[in-house]
């Protein structure tokens, strides 16, 4: 089994494929990861290679830094290969992780790979600081050129491709496609105020204010009428017939009066 990796999408895997083929690896048994760093353990190609090897196999790589860029990751991979009984071939030199000497050399090479990665990052940061001090570093360059951006806008306007298909076509992320398309959209037109013909109350509508709560004290209930309960003023029960209106109604009519 063979494994190859490049860190950026602009790099080519042809040299590593040719080197693995010269080391005796069949082209259909070479697993690759394109555009993934060595510090990222979540690599589909590496996972497939580790799942495919069996007891007695040899995993072939051109350099140890293609397999891992940190010593802990290199040790974890070595432990997994040891548990499966798989040897490791580094550019033609076979190292058995189960052998003490082979494990020592493997750890030394892992430390060297990690040191090289740290050195590259330090040099990159130093170069960026020097370029920034000299005024040559102007921030991140646009992902798409002007020609590609115009082509993207034309294809998007045709409406025959989704954003995912455009991202795959231009080899960028969907976020980049969304940002470029949003940048080309015209700003929204502000709405004109309503006229009196469109709305008779335009310009005359006042803001609504909640009603003020009542400040006066609640009305006291009036005392009950003695006639309502059928009681007289002296405390005796007058009954419904004692009401003055009832008395006038029941009194006999005087027919002698003209």
| pLDDT single digits (tens) 54-109 | 988 999 988 877 887 777 788 888 888 888 888 888 888 887 766 777 777 777 77
- Do residues 8 and 35 touch, judged by C-beta distance below 8 A? yes
**In this model, does residue 246 exceed pLDDT 80?**
no
- Predicted confidence at residue 99, as pLDDT, reads 74
- Tell me: do 71 and 157 sit in the same domain: no
Question: Is 51 a residue whose pLDDT tops 70?
Answer: yes
Number of independent structural domains in the chain: 2
Query: Tokens 């993934």 — which residue?
Result: 36
Residue 57 structural domain: 2-133
Which has the higher per-residue pLDDT, 22 or 196?
A: 22
Q: Identify which has the larger pLDDT, 251 or 99.
A: 99
Residue 256 has pLDDT above 80, yes or no: no
Examine the domain organization and report whether 123 and 151 are in the same domain. Answer: no
Interatomic CA distance for residues 255 and 57, integer angstroms: 140
- CATH code, domain with 100: 3.40.50.1390
CA gyration radius, the chain: 46
Give percent of the chain with pLDDT exceeding 90: 5
The reply to whether 161 and 125 lie within a common domain is no
d(CA 28, CA 21): 10
The three-class DSSP label of residue 59 is strand
125 shares a domain with 50: yes
Cα–Cα distance, 40 to 113 (Å, whole number):
14
Please state, as a whole number, how many other Cβ atoms lie within 10 Å of the Cβ of residue 113: 22
- Binned at pLDDT 50, 70 and 90, residue 224 comes out as low
Is 126 found in the same domain as 152? no
**Looking at the DSSP assignment, which residues form a beta bridge with residue 61?**
90
Helix/strand/coil for 164: helix
Strands 30-34 and 93-95: unpaired
Q: Which residues are known catalytic residues? A: 7
- pTM value > 0.85: no
On whether the CB atoms of residues 116 and 63 are closer than 8 A, the answer is no
Within-domain flag for 196: no
129 and 171 together in one domain: no
């Amino acid at each position: 089994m063979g494994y190859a990796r490049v860190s950026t999408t602009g790099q080519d895997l042809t040299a590593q494929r040719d080197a693995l083929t010269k080391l005796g690896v069949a082209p259909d048994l070479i697993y690759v990861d394109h555009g993934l760093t060595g510090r990222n353990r979540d690599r589909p190609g590496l996972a497939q290679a580790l799942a495919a090897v069996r007891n007695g196999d040899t995993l072939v790589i051109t350099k140890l830094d293609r397999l891992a860029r940190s010593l802990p990751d290199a040790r974890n991979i070595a432990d997994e290969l040891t548990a499966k009984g798989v040897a490791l071939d580094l550019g033609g030199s076979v190292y058995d992780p189960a052998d003490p000497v082979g494990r020592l050399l493997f750890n030394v090479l892992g430390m060297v790979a990690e040191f090289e990665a740290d050195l590259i990052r330090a040099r990159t940061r130093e170069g960026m600081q020097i370029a920034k001090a000299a005024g040559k570093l102007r921030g991140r360059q646009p992902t798409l050129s002007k020609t590609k951006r115009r082509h993207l806008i034309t294809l998007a306007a045709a409406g025959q491709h989704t954003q995912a298909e455009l991202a795959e076509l231009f080899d960028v992320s969907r976020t980049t496609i969304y940002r470029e398309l949003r940048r080309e959209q015209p700003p929204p037109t502000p709405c004109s105020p309503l006229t009196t013909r469109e709305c008779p109350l335009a310009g005359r509508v006042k803001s609504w204010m909640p009603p003020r709560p009542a400040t006066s004290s609640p009305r006291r209930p009036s005392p009950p009428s003695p006639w309502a309960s059928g009681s007289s003023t002296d405390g005796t029960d007058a009954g419904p017939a004692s009401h003055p209106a009832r008395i006038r109604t029941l009194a006999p009519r005087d027919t002698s009066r003209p």
